[in-house]
Amino acid sequence: MWITLLGFAISVVLCPQCYLSWENLISYWKTILLCLLYTYILGYGSTRIVTLIEPKYSWLEHPKKKFLLHFVTLFIFSFIVSAILFYIYAYLMFEGEKWLTLSEVLNQAKLPAFISVSIAAFFTGTDFLTNWKKEAVRAERLEKEKIATQYESLRNQVNPHFLFNSLNALSELVYEDQDLAVKYIRQLSQVYRYVLDSRNHEVASLRDELDFLESFIFLQKIRFGNNLIVENAVNKYDKKFVLPLSLQILIENSIKHNIISEEDPLKINLYQEENYLVIQNKLNKKRNMDKGTGIGLENIKMRYQYLTEKPVLISENEGTFVVKIPILEEMA
């Protein structure tokens, strides 16, 4: 509707005499129709062009470049469309070749091109302000999600229950196996060091994340023994990335929400499926389990939205719970 109204408005500017009388309206119907066609082509064409060039630059990081790219592209497109349609208009409405020369076509195309570019500049400016504000809000949300995820990761590791369980397991090892106790202390130290080192990183290499996960699983295996089975079939890549501590959070969630006993051991599988890292565990939920905040898994999903278009996939059936997180390629 708006494009149609705009087409009539342009026809009034380009041909005011068309609307002076009913006879003129009948005589100049081709002009009005051409103005409508002109507006439709510019409207839908500009929308398509903006869609194609949209991913080139970020409104937040490169607002000037993005605005200039939009404006220049729309100007060239508008001028070409104006010249072509005026040529068609001159061919239909006028006799003689004066109106069909290149110089005359380009000269007469200036006014409609100026009108269309002015309109495009207005909408581009409006789009700039809207998207810049949106990107600023998204950046602020990302920072908040980052802080929340860091808090969740630290809370999972430094909460009193984790410390109690770790120290309790260590006290038993000191009497039973001193060599294993020394190894346990080293692994515990590596876990805390990685948690602290990764706080300020947006992503972590898959190799570092898997090395950290081995230390974390070692501590859990000391606690649960053969009742916890973790099978890892993921290769350690240096130039592939995931969110820091994401694997630990997902493993921790599996341990937290499922029964682990000699009769019902918990089995967790890690493997790669195309460009996804899959964490699959046997589903045997604890009864009377607190739902918790859910902040860990939710923040993994939210933060991945800012890093890639690939979603975090979650599925659950009668006996299995599966989370698939995207593997990120080399980051700039």
> In the prediction, which pLDDT does 84 show?
77
Q: Are 233 and 272 in contact (CB under 8 A)?
A: yes
Q: Is the pLDDT of residue 308 over 50?
A: yes
- Least confident residue range of 78-82, 96-100, 223-227, 293-297: 96-100
pLDDT tier for residue 280 given thresholds of 50, 70 and 90: very high
Domain co-membership, 102 together with 226:
no
Other C-beta atoms lying within 10 Å of the C-beta of residue 4: 12
In a domain, 255, yes or no: yes
> In the prediction, which pLDDT does 117 show?
67
pLDDT tier for residue 270 given thresholds of 50, 70 and 90: very high
> In the prediction, which pLDDT does 188 show?
86
- 130 vs 228, which has greater pLDDT? 228
Domain co-membership, 175 together with 319:
yes
| Maximum Cα interatomic distance, the chain, rounded to a whole number of Å | 108
Domain co-membership, 78 together with 210:
no
Domain co-membership, 104 together with 39:
yes
pLDDT tens readout for residues 164-181 = 777 888 888 888 888 888
Half-sphere exposure of residue 217: CA atoms within 13 angstroms, side-chain side = 22
Domain co-membership, 319 together with 206:
yes
pLDDT tens readout for residues 133-169 = 777 777 777 777 776 666 566 555 545 566 677 788 8
> Across residues 180-207, what is the average pLDDT?
85
The token duo for 237 is 């890549």
CATH number, domain with residue 189: 3.30.565
Domain co-membership, 92 together with 191:
no
Total domain count, the chain: 2
pLDDT tens readout for residues 211-247 = 999 998 998 998 898 999 999 999 888 889 998 888 9
Domain boundary among 109, 139, 169: 139
> In the prediction, which pLDDT does 61 show?
63
Domain co-membership, 309 together with 165:
yes
- Least confident residue range of 48-57, 296-305, 309-318: 48-57
Contacts of 18 (CB under 8 A, 6+ apart): 11, 12, 24, 25, 27, 28, 31, 32
Domain of 135, in residue numbers: 2-139
Other C-beta atoms lying within 10 Å of the C-beta of residue 159: 11
Domain co-membership, 190 together with 248:
yes
Contacts of 202 (CB under 8 A, 6+ apart): 146, 244, 307, 331
Q: Is the pLDDT of residue 269 over 80?
A: yes
Domain co-membership, 168 together with 253:
yes
Domain co-membership, 7 together with 113:
yes
Burial class of residue 78, CB neighbours in 10 A (0-12, 13-18, 19+) = buried
Domain co-membership, 57 together with 174:
no
In a domain, 78, yes or no: yes
> In the prediction, which pLDDT does 120 show?
64
In a domain, 177, yes or no: yes
> In the prediction, which pLDDT does 293 show?
45
Per-chain mean pLDDT for the chain: 77
User: Percentage of the chain with pLDDT > 70?
Assistant: 67
In a domain, 25, yes or no: yes
Contacts of 181 (CB under 8 A, 6+ apart): 170, 173, 174
Long-range pairs for 282-288: beta carbons < 8 A, 24 or more residues apart = 282/258, 282/319, 282/320, 283/258, 283/316, 283/317, 283/318, 283/319, 283/320, 283/321, 284/258, 284/259, 285/257, 285/258, 285/259, 286/257, 286/258, 286/259
Q: Is the pLDDT of residue 11 over 50?
A: yes
Domain co-membership, 183 together with 86:
no
Q: Cα(56)–Cα(287) distance, rounded to whole angstroms?
A: 51
> Across residues 200-221, what is the average pLDDT?
89
> In the prediction, which pLDDT does 115 show?
67
Contacts of 171 (CB under 8 A, 6+ apart): none
What global pTM score does this model have? 0.54
